[in-house]
Amino acid sequence: MNKEFPTQGLSHFDAAGRAVMVDVGDKPITSREATAAGRISMLPSTRQQVKAGETGKGDVLAVARIAGIMAAKRTAELIPLCHPLSLSKVSIEWHWIQHDAIGCEAFVRCEGRTGVEMEALTAVQIALLTVYDMCKAVDRGMVIDAVQLIEKRGGRSGHWIAADPQRVFR
C-alpha cells in the first residue's frame, strides 16, 4: 500500500488508502435532513405529454415518485460505504420548468448518527431516470443534469445550504 496516500478530509479511506466504512458508533443520534434536486430536459412535446398524462404509460411522475422513494430506502445497497438508515420521511416534489424541463426535489429525514444526503441525491437520480425510462420511446435525447445537494441539517456540521439553491429550477 502507498504509505503517503492523501487522506486528509476523505473519511472513507484509512491512513494506508484503503476504503473503509466510517465508524459512526460514537456519534450522537440526532435529527438529520437533506434536500436534493435535479432536472430532466426534454422536447417540449414530451413535457406536454407527461403533464397531460398522455404518454401511454400512465402517470409518469407518480411512478417516478415511488421509484425515488424506494431508491432512498435502498441507498446503502447501491452506494458501497453508505450506512443503512431507518428513514422517517422521504418526499419527492415535481416542478414544471420553462417549456422543456421537469425539476425533481427530494427531501429525506431520519433520526440517526449519519446524514441523509446520499439518500436524497439517490432519490432524485432514480426518480429522474424513471422519467427517462418511461418517456424514452418518444424522446431519447432527454438530459438529466444539475443534480445537487440543496440543503442539509443536523449532525456535527450543522446546517448547510447551497449558494444558489434555485439554480436547478431555472
Which residues are tagged catalytic?
133
DSSP 154: -
Q: How many residues does the chain have?
A: 170
Grid look-up 450522537 returns 28
Quote the cell numbers at residue 4.
503517503
Q: What are phi and psi of 150, to 5 degrees?
A: -95, -40
Q: Are 38 and 102 in contact (CB under 8 A)?
A: no
Strands (E) located in 48-113:
87-97, 101-112
Whole-angstrom Cα distance, residue 143 to residue 149?
19
